[in-house]
Amino acid sequence: MKIAANAATLLLAMVFLAQPALAEGDAEAGKELGYTCLGCHGIEGYRNAYPSYRVPKLGGQKAGYLVIALKGYRSGERSHPTMQAQATSMSDQEIEDVAAYLASLGGETVASGGEKAPPFEPATACAACHGQNGISVNAQWPTLAGQYESYLERSLRQYRDGSRANAIMGAQAAIIAEEDIPRLASYFASLEGLETTKVD
Ligand code: HEC
Ligand code: HEC
């Protein structure tokens, strides 16, 4: 009886321990793979040709979120032909490593949380998860501050029309007023945060 209880405790402990490991990649190991991403993510203002919107900034993005995003492309939950092609060949470990590398490249603002953003009423509801200043409060949730406006707008529209499926954001996006979509995108884009990935 005693032994069984201990085994159960151990199992529980392992489940909890397994969670932080989600974002524990090796940034150094992810560097080489990271270079292949720079052809698009490392060029300031680079655009997805059709439909036209800017390729998202990854510098300073939360590692845990990058892992979820890459696995989403790999499994087909997120559809984008190029990103699916990139992610398909990556192992879980490679995904963790490249995420750790890219997340390590953001500047001070992303790391420290930056200054409090000017108030913007439609963004009040977003702060619980994306932070007071657009810098996410949880490793699994994306930072929005400094992201490209056109990419933010596109993702909000995709959550709304269901072409990007996510239970949490689907519910959030459904209640945003139509005229607030471009305003929210422009607001978060104006905050200091994410950066285009650069190598020195
Ligand atoms: C040919 C250009 C191209 C290359 C190369 C590329 N990406 Fe992307 N990436 C994109 C585009 C475009 C998007 C936006 C896709 C969408 O709309 O879902 C994107 C989206 C992403 C996202 C989601 C970001 C977010 O905020 O949700 C991640 C993470 C990502 N890429 C990581 C990588 C990694 C890691 C590599 C290298 C292994 C890489 N990409 C290589 C073009 C590229
Ligand atoms: C309960 C938590 C929560 C709230 C509140 C919330 N979000 Fe999100 N948001 C998320 C999560 C989780 C994701 C990642 C979903 C995914 O994997 O596609 C996300 C993703 C996004 C993205 C895509 C970012 C990227 O890099 O691809 C945008 C844009 C966004 N949210 C905007 C908003 C806005 C604007 C609001 C307020 C109106 C808001 N969110 C409120 C949790 C939240």
For residue 156, the ligand closest to its alpha carbon is 2
Instruction: Give yes or no for residue 152 CB within 6 A of ligand 1.
Output: no
End-to-end Cα separation, the chain, in angstroms:
59
- Segment 82-92 shows an average pLDDT of 95
Instruction: Give yes or no for residue 142 CB within 6 A of ligand 2.
Output: yes
pLDDT at 141 over 80: yes
Q: 28 vs 15, which has greater pLDDT?
A: 28
For residue 79, the ligand closest to its alpha carbon is 1
- Segment 146-172 shows an average pLDDT of 95
**In the structure, what pLDDT confidence band is assigned to residue 73 with cuts at 50, 70 and 90?**
very high
- Structure tokens belonging to residue 184: 């929210």
Instruction: Give yes or no for residue 158 CB within 6 A of ligand 2.
Output: no
Nearest CA to ligand 2 atom 27: 155
Q: 24 vs 151, which has greater pLDDT?
A: 151
Instruction: Give yes or no for residue 184 CB within 6 A of ligand 2.
Output: yes
pLDDT at 16 over 90: no
Span of 35-49, 83-97, 105-119, 136-150 with lowest mean pLDDT: 105-119
Q: What is the pLDDT of residue 107?
A: 79
Q: What is the pLDDT of residue 51?
A: 87
pLDDT tens digits, one per residue of 179-194: 999 999 999 999 999 9
pLDDT at 6 over 70: no
pLDDT at 3 over 70: no
Q: Ligand 2 centroid to 171 CA: how many Å?
A: 10
**In the structure, what pLDDT confidence band is assigned to residue 45 with cuts at 50, 70 and 90?**
confident
- Segment 73-84 shows an average pLDDT of 92
Instruction: Give yes or no for residue 41 CB within 6 A of ligand 1.
Output: yes
Nearest CA to ligand 2 atom 37: 126
Nearest CA to ligand 2 atom 36: 126
Q: Ligand 1 centroid to 31 CA: how many Å?
A: 16
Contact by Cβ (8 Å): 78, 72: yes
CA-CA-CA-CA torsion for 195, 90, 167, 152, nearest 10 degrees?
20
Q: Ligand 2 centroid to 5 CA: how many Å?
A: 40
Residues ≥6 apart with Cβ < 8 Å to 145: 109, 110, 114, 117, 131, 133, 134, 135, 188, 191, 192, 193, 194
pLDDT tens digits, one per residue of 27-44: 999 999 999 999 999 988
